[in-house]
Amino acid sequence: MTLDLPVIFAALMGIAILAYVVLDGYDLGVGMLMPAATTAQQDLMVASIGPFWDANETWLVLGIGLLLVAFPAAHGIVLGALYLPVTAMLIGLMLRGVAFEFRVKAQGWHAELWNWFFWLGSFLASLAQGFMLGRYVTGFESGAGYWLFALLVGASLCGGYVLLGATWLVLRTEGELQQKARAWARWGIMWVALGVALVSVATPWMSEMVRDKWFDFPRTLWLMALPAASVGAGIFVWRSLRPAAADWKPFAGAVTIYVTAFTGLAYSIFPFVVVDRLTIWEAAAHPSALQFMFWGVVIVLPCIAGYTVFAYRVFRGKVKGGLYE
């Protein structure tokens, strides 16, 4: 069991990060869509994410915490290289949290100001996360081209979160706002396609190991199912944005895109935790420490997952106005 613990912790860290990207991704997307809505619609949008948004960030804390305690050597390299974007992300998340609370109590132009701060915090956090992804898949290489690539990935992730946010609003709202959300989702899916394409091209281009894992035909022919599934999910989302389609379908399709893309990325970089530099076994903490932390995760993870399921079950259905007035 000791030899498998680094793999187990890597899998748990991946699950936590994926859960964060999907769950906090949609409420970040909703925040970025705020300026495109009317005042009444903005209240509905905030109400749709209100019961969930702060709990969604728990998955980010869990993912980073697992990186710190299970892979301390990688934690120093990754967060050292991403110090500034991590700081920007935290500023964005804090600004969003403050704006969420203050916009309810503010009146007149102050309320509009806090709505803009809510958008700014959501945008800054999303852009920083995408920038970090772009830097990570290129191995933290220096040079203007690599930084420009990371910015482009950051913009693409913003669009991807807009897709999640828009499809969430299709699921949770009705009427004019839902129709607007369908139009926003069509715009967002094009950014998702760009982001997935950029990361898919850059990862094998930067790493010979990744190229070998993906293009060793015919042994790896079965892997083509992952990009095919992503494309199929994108088509499914586009077709399900028609008014006659069930409201749950666009969001389910958007989540599928993220799951398949994340699975492909995880397969590409495994067993490295820092691409082509540090494997999970090289970066792992001492086996005795991993054994101790494993039982802590066994206790904590079901609590987080159970609370998440409970919250979504209690607040399911179409959102109504007045929840945060």
Query: Following CA atoms 46, 47, 52, 56 in sequence, which dihedral angle do they give, to the nearest 10 degrees?
Result: -10
pLDDT at residue 2 in the model: 44
How many domains are there within the chain?
Answer: 1
The residues of the chain scoring below 70 in pLDDT are 1-3, 106, 203, 206-209, 216-220, 321-325
**Has residue 323 been placed in a domain?**
no
pLDDT at residue 165 in the model: 92
**Has residue 321 been placed in a domain?**
no
Please name which of 203, 261, 191 lies closest in space to residue 228, comparing C-alpha atoms: 261
The parent domain of residue 91 ranges over: 5-314
pLDDT at residue 88 in the model: 92
**Has residue 19 been placed in a domain?**
yes
**Has residue 55 been placed in a domain?**
yes
pLDDT at residue 1 in the model: 43
**What DSSP state is assigned to residue 286?**
P
Contact 4, 139 (CB under 8 A): no
The first and second tokens of residue 6, run together, are 């680094």
3-state SS of the chain: helix, strand, coil percent to 5?
80, 0, 15
Express each pLDDT in 100-121 by its tens digit: 888 777 677 777 888 888 899 9
**Has residue 322 been placed in a domain?**
no
**Has residue 238 been placed in a domain?**
yes
Please identify which residue in the block is written with the tokens 């945060």. Answer: 324
The first and second tokens of residue 92, run together, are 């964005």
CA–CA separation, 289 and 88 (whole Å): 31
**Has residue 178 been placed in a domain?**
yes
Query: Following CA atoms 305, 311, 313, 319 in sequence, which dihedral angle do they give, to the nearest 10 degrees?
Result: -140
**Has residue 43 been placed in a domain?**
yes
> Which of helix, strand or coil describes residue 273?
strand
Contact 273, 279 (CB under 8 A): yes
Contact 92, 121 (CB under 8 A): yes
The first and second tokens of residue 168, run together, are 């969430």
CA–CA separation, 284 and 286 (whole Å): 7
